[in-house]
Amino acid sequence: QVQLVESGGGLVQAGGSLRLSCAASGPTFSSYYMGWFRQAPGKERQFVAGISRYSGIKDYADSVKGRFTISRDNAKNTVSLQMNSLKPEDTAVYYCAAGSRGDFRRYDYWGQGTQVTVSS
């Protein structure tokens, strides 16, 4: 099992960049697929990006391809989301997640969320 702690959210101007980080507990971090999701007020949670156990495979939502990059460092038990060319529609609470079943869209553990606000 995994405990996740997120950081890096904040307020940024449209066109700017932000880097989110998530630190995981425990010695089995490399056994999990990791993902990022986001949820805006009144909207359903949506998938943003996912990464396989040893970074060999990455998956992105169409809305963020070419702008966001997911990465992980298994030695440090961290996963990050580099967000460039931010748009107001990227405004949401962002969550990191860990999953044990090798599926980019299904996860078992979730972070507390961090707010990202992009001003126009």
* CA gap 102, 38 in Å, rounded: 20
pLDDT in tens, 18-64: 999 999 997 789 999 999 999 999 999 999 999 999 999 999 999 99
- Give the model's confidence band at 1: pLDDT under 50 very low, under 70 low, under 90 confident, else very high: confident
Q: Tokens 């992980």 correspond to what residue?
A: 72
pLDDT in tens, 77-112: 999 999 999 999 999 999 999 999 999 999 999 999
Which pLDDT value is given to residue 79?
A: 97
Which pLDDT value is given to residue 22?
A: 98
Element (H, E) at 22: strand 18-24
**DSSP-derived 3-state class of residue 27:** coil
Give Cα separations from 19 to 31, 67, 70, 73 (angstroms).
24, 12, 10, 15
* CA gap 52, 35 in Å, rounded: 9
